Amino acid sequence: MLVGAPDRHLPARLADEHLEELARLTDTAGGNVVGTVVQRIDQPHARYYIGEGKAKELAGVVRSAKADLVIFDEELSPAQGKGLEDLLGVRVMDRSELILDIFATRARSKESRMQVELAQLEYLLPRLRRMWSHLSRIRGGIGLRGPGETQLETDRRLIGKRIGELKRKLGDVAKARVVQRKGRQGHFRAALVGYTNAGKSSLLQALSGSDMFVEDRLFATLDPATRVVDLGSGHEALVTDTVGFIRKLPHDLVASFRATLEEAQEADVLLHVIDASHSDWEEHLEVVDGVLEELGLDEQDLVLVFNKVDRLTHDEEEAMRQRIRSLEATPAVFVSAHDQSTLDALRETLRARLQARLAHVRVRVPVGDGEAIAALYREAEVIGREDDDSMVSLTARVPAALLGRLTGREGVIVEAVA
């Protein structure tokens, strides 16, 4: 049974969309929706979130529908959760716990499993009295999943100890990621960010030609994946797919996935992927912008990538383009992961940003220094070449890492080109 308690001033269309998304989340978690109850409120009731009369009405609906789980679209306080479970006589979850439950089933790598466990434990800690009355009774999600049955204890001290242990391990992972990122220095990097199910993984698969897990469900993938993408003219980019965002994303989850999202912090450009076919794409855009701001990524170089344009009519696409122009917003490109011809504009946009970061220089290299000459042809964009008896003069756009290696190299002369 789903329960929505939108603010009285929220437009009806958005209130309906929020509940539809909650239904999709429930389906993703393996639940079966048997009914929906909605009450518009001015402010949450201290004990039941919804009004007391509505809560009693909900109890009757739950009994008649024989529902064994009630899911609220809003985040419940521990007291509200306990009050509702005492009244309804069935399990009560809120949107945050449902999302955490989905993440628990989707996490594949050791890192993402630790991140999800940390978020779950931090969410559950203040709710221990309601959720666990004995060591053997472990509260899980729809499929009775939890952070790990062998590791959960009802004692606050033990859970606090486990939280500290996970934070230390994730700190070690973060340090390892720093080392990995240092190995990528000199490469142009882009990160895909966006609302869940916007098509980020499909887009990366189409750009790179690599096989990736793709599924038309919310939070289909959690683990970041990095692929090499050919941008043309001898240029390449390392493009990373990151975890999708969603409205009302649990803060504990954002915090625990911060190490993973640091991939986006180190990127030269963020590609904000938007489902162009979704009626609420503007709200999705605002949600993602809010999370990026929370992560300190709102000042990053950003390109809006409107995906799934193959689902739009020509008139719908033109109307969307005009809407974007009227907003005078970030640069935007329109693509479809299922149409390679539409991806050229995105490659060109990335290539232009890469070239803007290259130093336009003239490098004079001794004829015998084949290593330096080969590096320039391999890592830089060579525009022109002149040879004489002792030196090779190359005009090129050179990445900072290569420029650093060449500067000071014996016999090599680097001059800026006006």
pLDDT in tens, 347-404: 999 999 998 888 899 999 999 999 999 999 988 889 999 999 899 999 998 888 788 8
pTM: 0.78
User: CA 304, CA 200: separation in Å to the nearest integer?
Assistant: 12
Residue 329 confidence (pLDDT): 66
Q: 2-98 sits in which CATH class?
A: alpha beta
Residue 245 confidence (pLDDT): 87
Domain ranges in the chain are 2-98, 107-170, 185-355, 358-416
Reduce the DSSP state of residue 331 to 3 states and report it. Answer: coil
Residue 110 confidence (pLDDT): 83
Question: Is 185-355 a CATH 3.30.465.10 domain?
Answer: no
Structure-block tokens of residue 417:
């080109």
Bridge pairing between strands 391-398 and 359-366: antiparallel
* Residue ranges in the chain modelled with pLDDT below 50: 132-138, 143-144, 147-153
Assigned CATH for 358-416? 3.30.70.240
Same fold? 2-98, 185-355 = yes
Structure-block tokens of residue 286:
């605002």
Conformational region of residue 61, where left means phi above 0, alpha means psi within -120 to 50, and beta covers everything else: alpha
Contacts of 69-72 spanning 24+ positions with Cβ under 8 A: 69/1, 69/31, 69/93, 69/142, 70/1, 70/2, 70/3, 71/1, 71/2, 71/3, 71/22, 71/26, 71/31, 71/95, 71/98, 72/3, 72/5
